Amino acid sequence: MVKPSIFVTRRWPEIVEHQLARDFNAVFNLGDKPLNASEFREAIKNFDAVLPTVTDKLGSEVFDVNKARTKILGNYGIGYSHICEASVQRLGVTVTNTPDILSECTADVAMTLMLMTSRRASEGEREVRAGAWTGWHPTHLIGTKVSGKTLGIVGFGRIGREVARRAHHGFGMKIIVQNCSPLCSKVLAEFDAIQAENLEELLPQCDFVSLHCSGDGKNRHLINAKRLGLMKPNAFLINTAQGKVIDERALVQALTFETIGGAGLDVFDGEPHIAPDLYHCDKLVMLPHLGSATREAREAMGFRVLDNLKDFFEGRDPRDRVI
């Protein structure tokens, strides 16, 4: 029996690539560079499956083909807003994602950013590397305590709940959540949390605000100048969700004029390109999209894609089908 042909758009963990090569007629993007629309069109015309990542751009122009051979996009990641839903539906292409796997690791990075911003870790590390540190003294790089503070979590799905678990049970933080739908009392009680009706209610109460919501539709620039203005002047904004959730121009203004205490970003609007003004914000910690960057998570994501492909090509409905 002829194995289905698949095209993998970026390099994946070695152990996963070996398994893909054993189970399928696999072709890998050995150069590991993002594909352009023309290259994606060729892949869709010539392979039974294409395996994109969350940073690939699959707009409508990618699916402008006379005849698509591809029947499934096995997306490597949770989000799929980078894939034109109308186009794949028109072509009858199935789309799967990789939920459940990266929640803990992304929550770890959110906590890392919380600690780095409040304790001015990046500033201190830069000072040491530059050879500018003159030794301990009582007023040097004074930061903010995390334990016992109030944390607002925007979006209380799997990742948001893992952040709440670490913050409440590990750091004794008070948890306030804002979610697109009401949460049951049992879920809130696990973290002794309360649910705010909206951001306008949540933001003024919080010492830290951590974003874990989708960046789609109405959530684009959810955190804008007006809402940044509602935050405490010493509060910290953390984003491990999607870059487009924050109006970065408004964030630069807030950091420049010190209307908030600081921010930590693992994602950026238009990444890997970063708005130049962000580089000049001393009270900003920036990480290169490390949320799921552990060996355990990245391998598990790859194997989850592989499971979905096997289901699809063996005639079963993939468990992680999103389109």
Q: 204-226, pLDDT tens digit by residue?
A: 999 999 999 987 778 999 999 99
Average pLDDT of the segment spanning 223-252: 97
Residue ranges in 172-268 assigned as alpha helix (H): 185-189, 199-202, 225-228, 248-256
Tell me yes or no: is domain 5-100+295-313 CATH 3.40.50.720.
Answer: yes
pLDDT bin (cut points 50, 70, 90) of residue 66 is confident
Residue type for 216, please?
Answer: D
Question: 19-39, pLDDT tens digit by residue?
Answer: 999 999 999 999 999 999 999
Phi, psi of 20 (to 5 degrees): -60, -40
Tokens of 122: 């990046």
Helix-helix angle 295-313:14-23, to 10 degrees: 10
Question: 76-127, pLDDT tens digit by residue?
Answer: 998 888 899 999 999 999 999 999 899 999 999 999 999 999 999 999 999 9
Question: 128-166, pLDDT tens digit by residue?
Answer: 999 999 999 999 999 999 999 999 999 999 999 999 999
φ/ψ bin of 92: left (φ > 0), alpha (ψ from -120 to 50), beta (otherwise): left
Fold of 103-286: Rossmann fold (3.40.50)
Do the domains 103-286 and 5-100+295-313 match in fold?
yes
pLDDT of res. 122:
96
Distance, in Å, from the CA atom of 293 to the CA atom of 63, rounded to the nearest integer, reads 30
**Averaged pLDDT score across all residues of the chain:** 95
Domain ranges of the chain: 5-100+295-313, 103-286
What residues contact residue 175 under an 8 Å CB cut-off, 6+ apart? 150, 151, 153, 164, 167, 168, 191, 192, 193, 194
CB 209 within 8 A of CB 234: no
pLDDT of res. 54:
87
Average pLDDT of the segment spanning 274-283: 95
pLDDT of res. 304:
97
Greater confidence, 217 or 277?
Answer: 277
The pTM is what? 0.91
